[in-house]
Amino acid sequence: MHPTLVVFDLDGTLIDSAPDMHRAVNLMLAGLGCAPLTLADIRSMVGDGASALIARALAARQCVSADPSKALAQFLAHYEEEPTASTTKTCTPSGGARRCGSRRHSSARPAMRREDRARPAAGA
């Protein structure tokens, strides 16, 4: 029996999505009137989910008057506009990721997981 759904936790193991997060964070910061962060800054802030990323970004730019939940919503809206525009594959075909980048089971639907939400990828 082949799986009907394949889910990848996009945490940097299989892909590098930091450039897309960088774009979305800086759009969110610009909307708040705050200075942008570098890609290196964003890479150092990634981990523990989007809420933690936004809290770290707001703290780094001293956006103390910003509402973290509204900032998170803005970040997610910007990120969802183009979630993979600059994403690149980082894995190599070995170990558990031996079929990285290919759809091993053509009938399986891909999905993305962020935070506590999972939804089918577009076109699936």
Q: Tell me the per-residue pLDDT of 62-88, one tens digit each, with 9 for 90 and over.
A: 988 899 999 999 999 999 888 777 777
Q: Are residues 78 and 109 in the same domain?
A: no
Q: Are residues 32 and 77 in the same domain?
A: yes
What pLDDT score was predicted for residue 9?
58
CATH number at residue 30: 1.10.150.240
In the block, tokens 């001293």 appear at: 62
User: What φ, ψ does residue 44 adopt, rounded to 5°?
Assistant: -75, -15
For every residue of 70-104, DSSP letters joined together read: HHHHHHHHHHHHSTTSS-EE---SSGGGTTTTS-S
Q: Answer yes or no: pTM beyond 0.75.
A: no
Mean pLDDT, rounded, for 47-71: 92
What pLDDT score was predicted for residue 43?
92
Distance CA 109, CA 36 (A): 36
Mark whether 116 is an active-site residue.
Answer: no
Contacts of 37 (CB under 8 A, 6+ apart): 22, 25, 26, 29, 45, 57, 60, 61
Q: Are residues 41 and 94 in the same domain?
A: no
Considering the chain, what is the average pLDDT of its residues?
Answer: 76
Q: Which residues span the domain enclosing 49?
A: 18-86
Number of domains in the chain: 2
Q: Tell me the per-residue pLDDT of 4-38, one tens digit each, with 9 for 90 and over.
A: 676 665 556 667 888 999 999 999 999 999 999 99
Q: Are residues 5 and 54 in the same domain?
A: no
Q: Which of 9, 11, 48, 67 is catalytic?
A: 9
The tally of CA atoms less than 13 A away on the side-chain side of residue 123 is 0
